[in-house]
Amino acid sequence: MITLTGSATLMDTLAFDTAPPARRLIELLKERGWTQLERVDPTRGAAGTRPEDTAVQSSRCERCGR
């Protein structure tokens, strides 16, 4: 298990208990050499391509844009 602090251990345990495949996923990542996970910002423009974003845009008033 990859841990940084006590709270990380708690979060790992919670994830493994609520989503059993998560434990196997971590094992497979370790087998493939992944020892550190880090946040990567999404590519520019990617947010506008999600279905949720287009649904919100299409529900706006054509007259005033709200």
**All residues at 6 or more sequence positions from 12 whose CB lies less than 8 Å from its CB, including other chains:** 1, 2, 3, 26
Q: Which of 6, 26, 3 is nearest to 16 (CA)?
A: 26
pTM over 0.75: no
Averaged pLDDT in 10-residue chunks for the chain of 66 residues: 59 82 87 80 66 55 69
Q: Could you give the CA distance from residue 34 to residue 46 in angstroms, rounded to a whole number?
A: 25
Q: Could you give the CA distance from residue 3 to residue 23 in angstroms, rounded to a whole number?
A: 13
